[in-house]
Amino acid sequence: MTTVYLVVKGGLGNQLFQAAFGIYLEAMTGAQIRYLTHGFAGDNYRRTFLLDNFTGLRGRTAPVEEAIGAPHYREPALPQPPEQTIEEVLTLIARAPERLILEGYWQNELYFADARPVIRAALRLPLEDKAFELGENLGREGVIGMHVRRSDYGHHGLARASYYRQAIEAVRAAAGHSPVLVFTDEYNFCSFEFGKIPDLSVVRGDSQSPLIDFHLLSACRHFILSNSSFSWWSAWLGAREESLVIAPDPWCVFDAACRPAPQRWRVIEDSVQRQ
C-alpha cells in the first residue's frame, strides 16, 4: 500500500481543501493518507493544525522525518485543468513504490466533488449539544449566514462593504426577509458598517479558535461569502437544495485564475478591492 503524505498548511479553510483532496485520493486508490504538519511551527499568522478536531480525520499526522526521500509533487502553479492534475497524481500513486509527498492548496471542487458524501461524513465536529441545537435553530429559522474576513487579508483583497449590502438585498428579495448573522474577525468594523441593517446581528467570534463559528455558519440556510476558504467550506458543507449562496469576484486580486466558486453559486463581480 502506498502512503501519501499531504503537506498541510494555512488556516482552517485551506486545511479542509487539502483534507478533502486526500479523502478523494484515499477513496480512489486505497492509499494511506498521512498529514505533514511541520510548517505550523513557524507560521507567521500563528495558525495551528486543526484537522484533528474532525472525527473522521484524526490520527493521520506523521513526523516529517518519515517522509524524507519520498518523491515530491507540487500542485502546478500555472492554470492547469484539475482533471489533468488529478490524472498526474493518480498515475504517480500507481507507480510510487511506497511513498509520495503531495503539496498544494487544491482549491477547486473538481479535485474532490465525486467524494462529497464521504467528505461530509468525515468533517463532523464533536461539539457540545448546545452548539448543535443552536445550529439546528439557525437552519430552521432560515438565517442568512454572512462571513466578513478582513484581518491580515489586505494582500488577498477585501470584499467591499457595498458587496455585502447588495448580497443581503439579493437574498432577501429571493427568499424573504430573513435575519442575518454576521461572522467576522473584525467585530467593530461590522457593527459600525452594517449595524443599521434591520434584523442583522454580529457574532463576536474567536479567530484563534474558529470551530464553533464554522459549525454555526455552516448551519445557516443561506450564505453570503467573503473571498475566504473558511466561508467557502461553510457553504459547501451546509448548503441545501433551497439555499442561496453568493460569492465575491475576484476571489484573489493577484491571481485571476483562482475562481473556486462552483457555477451553481451566484457571483457578484468587481466586489473585491486591492488594499
Whether the CB-CB separation of 201 and 181 falls below 8 Å is answered with: yes
Q: In this structure, what are the phi and psi dihedrals at residue 242, rounded to the nearest 5 degrees?
A: -90, 0
| Grid cell in block for residue 97 | 513504490
pLDDT in tens, 15-71: 999 999 999 999 999 999 999 999 999 888 889 999 999 999 999 999 999 999 999
pLDDT in tens, 179-193: 999 999 899 999 999
Q: What is the DSSP string of 127-154?
A: --HHHHHHHHHHHHTTPEEEEE--TT-T
Band of pLDDT at residue 256, cut at 50, 70 and 90: confident
pLDDT attached to residue 254? 84
pLDDT in tens, 81-139: 999 999 999 999 998 779 999 999 999 999 998 899 999 999 988 877 677 677 777 87
Q: What would the CATH number be for the domain defined by 129-273?
A: 3.40.50.2000
pLDDT attached to residue 257? 79
Q: Are strands 245-248 and 200-204 parallel, antiparallel or unpaired?
A: unpaired
Q: Select the more confidently predicted residue: 196 or 255.
A: 196
| Grid cell in block for residue 47 | 495558525
Give the up-direction half-sphere exposure of residue 4: CA atoms within 13 A in the CB hemisphere. 28
Strands (E), the chain: 3-7, 32-36, 61-62, 72-74, 99-103, 144-148, 158-159, 180-184, 200-204, 222-224, 245-248, 266-268, 272-273
pLDDT attached to residue 208? 59
pLDDT attached to residue 128? 73
pLDDT in tens, 152-166: 776 788 999 999 999
Q: Select the more confidently predicted residue: 58 or 140.
A: 58
Rounded Cα distance between 174 and 6, Å, is: 41
pLDDT attached to residue 172? 97
Rounded Cα distance between 30 and 14, Å, is: 23
Residue identified by cell 448548503 is 239
pLDDT over threshold 90, residue 150: no
Name the pTM for this structure.
0.93
pLDDT attached to residue 154? 66
Whether the CB-CB separation of 60 and 35 falls below 8 Å is answered with: yes
| Grid cell in block for residue 175 | 427568499
Q: Which range (185-189, 206-210, 253-257, 259-263) has the least confidence?
A: 206-210
pLDDT attached to residue 46? 86
Domain ranges of the chain: 3-122, 129-273
pLDDT in tens, 186-232: 999 999 999 999 999 999 876 656 898 999 999 999 999 999 999 99
Whether the CB-CB separation of 132 and 124 falls below 8 Å is answered with: no
Whether the CB-CB separation of 243 and 223 falls below 8 Å is answered with: yes
pLDDT attached to residue 240? 93
